[in-house]
Chains A and B, each alone.
Chain A
């Protein structure tokens, strides 16, 4: 089996349980968004898939490996098959777009090659393909600190692609972006989901993006999954359940009562 599964899983950090009763099955090629107020454990669930969170009970399997006792090289192996995209991009800002994307290939690079940053022709071809996938081939040698937020996030997506992963986990990938850049990043995620058949799981704060781009939505509240289904099933009652008691209610429904307006036109920020 190639997917992700969790049965009655309890997750947390140190001695603290953050999530309980997690039951989940993710099939290959799904585009899932996890929604819910801040602090309900969205990131915990996402990072658990990457083997970064302590499992207190239940069984969690990723690519048929039990995460409960995975260590060292098996863990590195698992991580190499999962690309992670962070809210703050986590790029080396002084390095070029090319070097940052190559960072995703490190596991397959030999140490000498990595030491002098020497890439073989086939590696250049691969990196170029990923740059094209995120529309950044024109910025190949640009330092990342010269890019806009949206462009940086697309570099991070290309870096994740360079891992040749089976799953991409995106932890609030558009939270720090303006609506136009955010739409560009979501379009890119959707394109790689379709083009490469990758499973994409993203934590999102913006409900409208979840509806528009994903084929499945997981709603969380109070350390539990409270909704798991199609975006069409998200009616006002369900949304109220997910965000019930949260201080973020106002932001979810927007300042004027509309649910997260998104930019009508996609224009890649230059």
Chain B
């Protein structure tokens, strides 16, 4: 390779990079126009936000401030907030139980440990399992928790249970994807060493793969717990339990001071969950 070639390949303004930039800008313009985004609209209408927060002029006492201080109501919301966290917790446990084993079948490197061999049939088996597990993970992940909640409400009725199931199904898809990507990034050398001892696939995975990915797994599980708590707060909109039931109810009946109280409780809880998971993550990883 001569200097001219090296210069050409490392020039940040070479045609390829400029073309990429052009496509990127084109995508922004296209999306902006199609979705009718406009700064003018926001500049003209931002005062309406203040009016909304102040309350609907036609409805008495519909402002968001000050927050409602009714003790019986606060106790009721706190109980439901605890229920919301319980929903997220159970959903998380269920999703980990589903995603953990599946993720080893959704990763190319562990599939090679489980189904070794270089014959065409071995490759076909691995590819089929890989595609099937990835498809299932994509399916459960790409359908929103709210949609899953509606489906489960139809099946098991109102209450926290459909919410838990909805979160569990969605999160298991997300975790399968995250876990399997973590697994595919492990170092292969310890696997080679333990396979060389004649140990079977299960034991090789237990001793060479799982110790390498456990900090990543813990991190992802905690991240999903935070997301699940947030998601669980609005699942009640569909009747699937948790504090969202009240949130939806109070929003519809313009009892916005209660909405503010609920929001404050949610914000404090999410912050607490965040602190807790940060502490666990620090201790473990």
Selected A-B contacts with CB under 8 Å, 16 pairs: A50-B196, A78-B198, A79-B197, A80-B197, A84-B196, A89-B189, A90-B193, A92-B211, A94-B212, A99-B211, A103-B194, A106-B203, A111-B203, A114-B203, A115-B206, A117-B206
Given contacts A103-B208, A106-B207, A114-B207, contact A79 B196 (CB under 8 A): yes
The answer to the question of A76 belonging to the interface, with a C-beta cut-off of 8 Å to chain B, is yes
Contact check, B211 vs A95: say whether CB atoms are below 8 A apart: yes
Smallest CB-CB A-B distances: 10 pairs: A80-B198, A106-B199, A90-B193, A79-B198, A76-B198, A90-B189, A106-B203, A84-B196, A92-B190, A95-B211
The answer to the question of A109 belonging to the interface, with a C-beta cut-off of 8 Å to chain B, is yes
Contact check, B193 vs A91: say whether CB atoms are below 8 A apart: yes
Query: What are the interface flags for B169-187 relative to A under an 8 Å C-beta threshold, 1 for contact and 0 otherwise?
Result: 0000000000000000000
Q: Point out the residues of chain B lying under 8 angstroms from A50, CB to CB.
A: 196
Q: Point out the residues of chain B lying under 8 angstroms from A156, CB to CB.
A: 193
CA A45 to CA B275, docked complex, whole Å: 55
The answer to the question of A104 belonging to the interface, with a C-beta cut-off of 8 Å to chain B, is yes
Q: Point out the residues of chain B lying under 8 angstroms from A80, CB to CB.
A: 197-199
Contact check, B198 vs A91: say whether CB atoms are below 8 A apart: no
Q: Point out the residues of chain A lying under 8 angstroms from B193, CB to CB.
A: 84, 86, 90-91, 103, 156, 159
- Counting contact residues on chain B (CB < 8 A from A), the size range is 20 to 34
Find B207's partner among A77, A78, A79, A92 (CB 8 Å cutoff). A92
Contact check, A99 vs B190: say whether CB atoms are below 8 A apart: no
CA A81 to CA B196, docked complex, whole Å: 10
Q: Point out the residues of chain B lying under 8 angstroms from A106, CB to CB.
A: 194, 197, 199-200, 203-204, 207
Contact check, A103 vs B196: say whether CB atoms are below 8 A apart: no
Contact check, B197 vs A104: say whether CB atoms are below 8 A apart: yes
Query: What are the interface flags for A111-130 relative to B under an 8 Å C-beta threshold, 1 for contact and 0 otherwise?
Result: 10011010000000000000
Q: Point out the residues of chain A lying under 8 angstroms from B212, CB to CB.
A: 92, 94
The answer to the question of A88 belonging to the interface, with a C-beta cut-off of 8 Å to chain B, is yes
Q: Which residues of A contact B (CB under 8 A)?
A: 50, 52, 75-84, 86, 88-92, 94-95, 99, 102-104, 106-107, 109, 111, 114-115, 117, 156, 159, 163
The answer to the question of B192 belonging to the interface, with a C-beta cut-off of 8 Å to chain A, is yes
Q: Point out the residues of chain B lying under 8 angstroms from A94, CB to CB.
A: 211-212, 214-215
Find B203's partner among A52, A82, A99, A109 (CB 8 Å cutoff). A109
Closest CB in chain A relative to B240 CB, distance in Å? 35
- B213 and chain A: residue at smallest CB distance: A94
Known: A79-B195, A84-B197, A95-B207. 7 other contacts (CB 8 A): A78-B198, A83-B197, A90-B193, A99-B207, A102-B207, A106-B204, A163-B198
Q: Point out the residues of chain B lying under 8 angstroms from A89, CB to CB.
A: 189
CA A84 to CA B199, docked complex, whole Å: 13
Q: Point out the residues of chain A lying under 8 angstroms from B215, CB to CB.
A: 94
CA A114 to CA B202, docked complex, whole Å: 9
Closest CB in chain A relative to B98 CB, distance in Å? 18
Closest CB in chain B relative to A71 CB, distance in Å? 10
- B207 and chain A: residue at smallest CB distance: A103
CA A102 to CA B193, docked complex, whole Å: 13
- B199 and chain A: residue at smallest CB distance: A106
- B215 and chain A: residue at smallest CB distance: A94
Q: Point out the residues of chain B lying under 8 angstroms from A77, CB to CB.
A: 198
CA A21 to CA B182, docked complex, whole Å: 44
Closest CB in chain A relative to B183 CB, distance in Å? 14
Q: Point out the residues of chain A lying under 8 angstroms from B200, CB to CB.
A: 76, 106-107
Q: Point out the residues of chain A lying under 8 angstroms from B199, CB to CB.
A: 76, 80, 103, 106-107
Q: Point out the residues of chain B lying under 8 angstroms from A95, CB to CB.
A: 207, 211
Contact check, B189 vs A86: say whether CB atoms are below 8 A apart: yes
Closest CB in chain B relative to A96 CB, distance in Å? 9
